[in-house]
Structure 1
Amino acid sequence: MKISQEMATQLDTAKKNMKTAADGTQGFHRMVQSRTHQLQQNEMQKLLADISEQGDRLSKFRSFRDLAKFKQMVKRFLKEAIGNGYDLQKSYGFSMSGHAGNLTTVKKSG
């Protein structure tokens, strides 16, 4: 009888230790995820500020170089936005009339 009580106590202790370890892992995962999201938000805000500044410069000087830089910055912003929040899937399909074509689907990740 004493052996079974000791086994039950050991099992309860092991379950509690496993639950505590799992909670610690989840807390760490949430902390890392939160920090990553915060850094991504800061990067996106910086990109928007840079785009706005470049747009102001473009409206004043209207040079091809400024236009190219502006377009490049907008492309980078869109890539970051799609890379961080959306999944892009490409496929090949047929329409109802039988025409073939490439299909691109943007899905929200998460």
Structure 2
Amino acid sequence: MIRGIRGATTVNENIATDIIDRTRALVLEIIALNQIKASDVASVLVSVTTDLNAAFPAKPIRELAGWSYVPVMCMNEIDVPGGLPRCIRIMLTVNTMIEQEKIIHVYHHEAKKLRPDLLK
């Protein structure tokens, strides 16, 4: 079964190390909570708000052990007025037998405001 697993985080400033560190922390928690193996991942989409351009957030994902062949793509999030600034969003497409309602989506920092209904 193919499932989408979402996550998001924010940074305080457009600083490369912050973007990389926060993305890594988010992805590692998503992997751990959902017991994901790289070989089960079809692809990862990463979007950033237009105020973030200091680093590619795909970098820490590609650096994970065993993840070098997982397709990862970065893109800009739609710039909606009043949207959450300095936000990194992630969508992993994963082969898993976990039921959809048991998937654990992860939101860190200010991104918790995006989907409070999914926080566990």
TM-score bucket of the superposed structures, by smaller chain: under 0.3
Higher-helix-fraction structure: 1
Structure with greater Cα Rg: 1
With structure 1 as the length reference, what TM-score do the two structures score? 0.27
Question: Which structure carries more relative contact order (alpha carbon 8 Å, separation 6+)?
Answer: 2
Higher-strand-fraction structure: 2
